[in-house]
Every structure is written in C-alpha cells, then in structure tokens.
C-alpha cells in the first residue's frame, strides 16, 4: 500500500490576466489562516490609513515552497507561492496548495519533506502552466486538469531516505564539530534551548543551510528536522515545525527556515519579501557563512511519491 491518492488543488492570489483575486478551495479553517498569513505578512506595520497603497506592503522577491502546521491541528497545508501581479500591474503573490490529514505522519513528521517532494513538484508544474493562462476560462480549465499526489507512505519515505543517507552523502559531522570555528554547534544548542522553553509561546525559527545538489534538498530538510527533534524533545515526534523553503535564485545560497509552530507575519516578510530583520531567527546558519555549508544526515528519515500529470 503506497497510501497515495490525488489531491485537488486550491489557490489564492493574482495572475497577470485578471484584475481580481483568484480563489479556489479556501473555505477550510486551515486555508483561511493561510490567507491571513499572506495578507498580514506583506503588510508593513505601523503605517497609517492615509499611506499610499504602494507604501503599505512589502513586495515578494522569492518564490517559496511551504508546509504549514498549526499546533494541534489535524490538517496540514503544503504549497508553493510565487511573486505575481494582476492585469493592472498591482503586485500580489499567487499561491497553489493542497491540504491533507496529519494522522499518518504524527509519528514520522521528519519524513514529510521527502514524502511531499512529488506533490511540491506537481504544484510547481501546475503553477507554471497556470501563469501562462490568458483568460479566466483557460485558467479554470487548467486548474481542473491538475492534481497533486498525497504524501507517500512513511515506510516508502523512510526507505528512500536511508538509501540517500547511505549513498556517500556528506553528514552532519562538520557542522556539529566543536572545532568547526563557525559557532554552529553553540548556535544549534541555543536554538534547542529556546525551542524547549517556548511551550505555547512565540515559536523560535531557524534558518539552516542546504547543499548545492537541489535533488537532495528534501532529504536534507528531513535530516535537519530529525536531528533537531531528537535534541528538543524527549519524545522527538512532538517537534513538528512549519517549513519555509525558498527557491535558490540570484546567486543566493540555498536555505530552509524551520518554525516551531505556525509562522508569523514577520517570517513571511523576512523569508519571502527579504525584509531586513536580522533578529528574527534564533539561529541563522544559512546566511553569512563564507564557506559551503555541510549537509545534515542522520539514520532517521526519506523521499516520496509520484508525479501528478495534467489530464
């Protein structure tokens, strides 16, 4: 049993062919929260009502994959978001997403980045095609034609992760070594302490490095979650962070942001709009490092699924 099935796609945002918002599948509480996160995250705080429209919002500069996990929620939301604009050139992002039950991954949360890899790829494919739509009718037809696979079975994900980890990939030894000279071990220890103390309070966030091989990034994110979970919780499965995974572009080093809970508006503006907020992250190992960051590998998690095709 693979546990895969097709998931319908939902959307929220704007595209160049249409002046109004494009929405589908936005009635569920988890999606309403996603919409609020986007709307609030791009709005600049502390500006009065008399400010001009182009002064009150941050502009998105990075496309981003995401997995949003509200503490205690039974539904998870995975998706992709890209900068966009409407037919009148007013900037607003476009997000494409799926939602699914968290039940199968409550004990295997670290495997989810691997298990979602094919779903994220299907969403990328669909978004790229939707961006070429010239009319609302064409948009609806394209959106109807696409689905995404549900996360692959945890057993499959684990097997694929172990195959990746055993294939001679770099491991965590360098980044965790006390004589590394980068301060990474101390920073990781500080983050672990903050996450343990957080409880129901503000969720600490960590920006972490990914390696140069794009095909390994989902595995690396799983490895980071697995490693940090084992240090944060006596029962590791309890730490289930949200994931913000920006696309590497413009010469930026690839990175991922893990938030120990639902991300706040400040995480949106910092990660997707690249606003200057250096104090936001409890640890920030991905930026400011002058050498190639080593990759995390443990004995724990894996990859996934199958690709959804346009029908």
Kindly report, residue by residue over 135-180, the tens digit of the pLDDT: 999 999 999 999 999 999 999 999 999 888 876 445 444 555 544 5
For 300, half-sphere exposure in the C-beta direction (CA atoms, 13 angstrom radius) is 27
Give the residue among 72, 123, 92, 128 at the shortest CA–CA distance from 12. Answer: 92
Q: Predicted confidence band at 187 (pLDDT cuts at 50, 70, 90)?
A: confident
Q: Is 199 exposed, middle or buried (0-12, 13-18, 19+ CB in 10 A)?
A: exposed
Residue 285 has pLDDT above 80, yes or no: no
Assigned domain for 172 exists: yes
Kindly report, residue by residue over 255-274, the tens digit of the pLDDT: 899 998 899 898 999 899 98
Kindly report, residue by residue over 37-67, the tens digit of the pLDDT: 999 999 887 665 555 565 678 899 999 999 9
Predicted local confidence at residue 299, as pLDDT: 38
Assigned domain for 293 exists: no
* Residue tagged 């103390």 (tokens): 197
Residue 184 has pLDDT above 90, yes or no: no
Assigned domain for 251 exists: yes
Which residues lie below 8 Å from residue 275, measured CB to CB, with a gap of 6+? 58, 269
Assigned domain for 140 exists: yes
Highest mean pLDDT among 74-78, 180-184, 185-189: 74-78
Residue 112 has pLDDT above 60, yes or no: yes
As a whole number of angstroms, the distance between CA 228 and CA 93 comes to 31
Q: Which domain holds residue 137?
A: 6-284
Quote the number of domains for the chain: 1
Assigned domain for 173 exists: yes
Residue 295 has pLDDT above 50, yes or no: no
Residue 2 has pLDDT above 70, yes or no: no
CATH number reported for the structural domain that contains residue 113 in this entry: 3.40.1730.10
Assigned domain for 74 exists: yes
Q: Predicted confidence band at 284 (pLDDT cuts at 50, 70, 90)?
A: confident
- Mean of pLDDT values over 232-261: 80
Tokens of 200: 């129901």
Predicted local confidence at residue 135, as pLDDT: 97
- Strands 147-149 vs 6-8: parallel, antiparallel or unpaired: antiparallel
């Amino acid at each position: 049993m693979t546990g895969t099935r097709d998931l319908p796609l939902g959307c929220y945002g704007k595209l160049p062919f249409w002046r109004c918002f494009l929405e589908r599948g936005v009635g569920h509480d988890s999606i309403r929260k996603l919409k609020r996160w986007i709307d609030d995250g791009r709005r600049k705080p502390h500006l009065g009502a008399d400010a001009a429209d182009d002064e009150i919002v941050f502009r998105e500069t990075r496309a981003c994959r995401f997995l949003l996990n509200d503490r205690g929620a039974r539904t998870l939301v995975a998706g992709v978001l890209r900068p966009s604009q409407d037919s009148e050139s007013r900037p607003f992002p476009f997000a494409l997403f799926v939602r699914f039950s968290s039940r199968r991954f409550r004990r295997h949360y670290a495997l989810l980045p691997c298990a979602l890899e094919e779903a994220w790829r299907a969403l990328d494919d669909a978004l790229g095609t939707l961006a070429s739509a010239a009319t609302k009718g064409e948009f609806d037809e394209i959106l109807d034609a696409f689905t995404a696979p549900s996360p692959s079975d945890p057993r499959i994900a684990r097997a694929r992760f172990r195959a990746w980890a055993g294939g001679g990939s770099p491991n965590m030894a360098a980044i965790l070594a006390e004589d590394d000279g980068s301060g990474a071990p101390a920073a990781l220890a500080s983050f672990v302490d903050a996450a343990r103390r957080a409880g129901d309070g503000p969720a600490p966030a960590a920006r972490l490095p990914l390696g140069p091989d794009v095909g390994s990034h989902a595995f690396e994110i799983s490895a980071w979650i697995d490693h940090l979970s084992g240090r944060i919780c006596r029962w590791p499965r309890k730490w289930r962070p949200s994931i913000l995974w920006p696309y590497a572009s413009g010469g930026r080093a690839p990175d991922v942001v893990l938030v120990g809970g639902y991300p706040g508006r400040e995480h949106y503006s910092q990660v997707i709009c690249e606003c200057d907020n250096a104090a936001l992250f409890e640890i920030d190992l991905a930026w400011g490092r002058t050498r190639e960051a080593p990759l995390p590998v443990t004995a724990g998690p894996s990859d996934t699924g199958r690709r959804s095709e346009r029908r």
